[in-house]
């Protein structure tokens, strides 16, 4: 069957889908048409149920009941994750009085920061524009994701909050749930699990041939050097990406448990394949 698949223009996503999208691994069940959009655009497209399979923020899963979370392809930080950067060394109380640039209201980073410091003043912008906005003083601080988590110091900016470390300390060491992949419920659980297995095979292929998969991922490097992209990919493509397991599932369930307790996400029926 022919399915439409959405992934982000990020090196970790490209790395995981490399084998599938280049025919290195194949499936008798699926023909893939893929589209590339930034994560918040994919979140919004999932709200409209426009794609058969798509990468989304874990946070977005609270608002897309027509999709099931795949067990493979997740981006989980092992003690690291989004950070808040600024030109000044702000306390949490000062930060809450400062306008913070965020990469989207449905990103997991936004939900995690709300859980950490409570509600705050924010402005949405494309994730790749946040560092520049902080540097120019257009906002007092920025919540950064993707490779900007490890390049911010090139702009003489400082890390003032580490959301990933906070999550690890608050949950007894659970990985940080950031991104996941979902498939439309209308396919039925058997087909969803077949695709999940296909995707898992693609990830395993890439991890066994890292240089080959990195060559492909460099098409989404946004001008960053290969060693930095490799560092970023190795951070977010790990054993939990192959199969989320008990730890990955527990981290997702805890994110929504904390979120519903604080009234930040609605109660809903979480579906994992």
Total residues found in the chain within this entry: 273
Tell me the angle at which helices 108-117 and 245-261 cross, rounded to the nearest 10 degrees. 60
Helices (H), 49-144: 92-96, 108-117, 130-135
Q: Which residues pair with 179 in a beta bridge?
A: 57, 75
Asked whether the beta carbons of 196 and 70 are under 8 A apart, the reply is: yes
- CA 19 to CA 16: how far, in whole Å? 7
Per-residue DSSP letter, 235: H
Please say if 146 is a catalytic residue: yes
Active site residues: 146
């Amino acid at each position: 069957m022919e399915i439409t698949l959405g992934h982000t223009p990020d090196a970790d996503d490209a790395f995981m889908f490399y084998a599938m999208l280049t025919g290195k691994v194949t499936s008798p069940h699926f023909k893939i048409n893929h589209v590339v959009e930034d994560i918040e655009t994919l979140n919004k497209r999932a709200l409209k149920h426009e794609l058969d399979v798509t990468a989304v923020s874990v946070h977005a899963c609270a608002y897309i009941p027509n999709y099931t979370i795949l067990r493979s392809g997740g981006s989980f930080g092992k003690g690291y994750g989004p950070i808040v950067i600024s030109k000044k060394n702000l306390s949490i109380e000062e930060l809450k009085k400062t306008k913070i640039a965020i990469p989207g209201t449905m990103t997991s980073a936004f939900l995690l920061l709300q859980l950490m410091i409570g509600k705050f003043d924010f402005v949405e912008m494309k994730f790749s524009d946040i560092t520049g906005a902080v540097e120019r003083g257009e906002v007092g601080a920025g919540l950064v994701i993707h490779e900007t988590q490890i390049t911010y110091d090139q702009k003489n900016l400082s890390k003032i909050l580490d959301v990933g470390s906070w999550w690890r300390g608050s949950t007894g060491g659970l990985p940080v749930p950031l991104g996941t992949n979902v498939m439309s419920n209308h396919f039925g659980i058997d087909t969803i699990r077949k695709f999940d297995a296909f995707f898992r095979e693609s990830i395993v292929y890439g991890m066994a041939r890292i240089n080959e998969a990195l060559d492909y991922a460099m098409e989404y490097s946004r001008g960053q050097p290969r060693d930095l992209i490799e560092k970023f990919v190795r951070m977010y493509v790990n054993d939990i990406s192959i199969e989320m397991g008990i730890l990955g599932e527990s981290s997702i369930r805890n994110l929504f448990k904390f979120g519903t307790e604080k009234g930040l996400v609605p109660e809903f029926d979480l579906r994992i394949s």
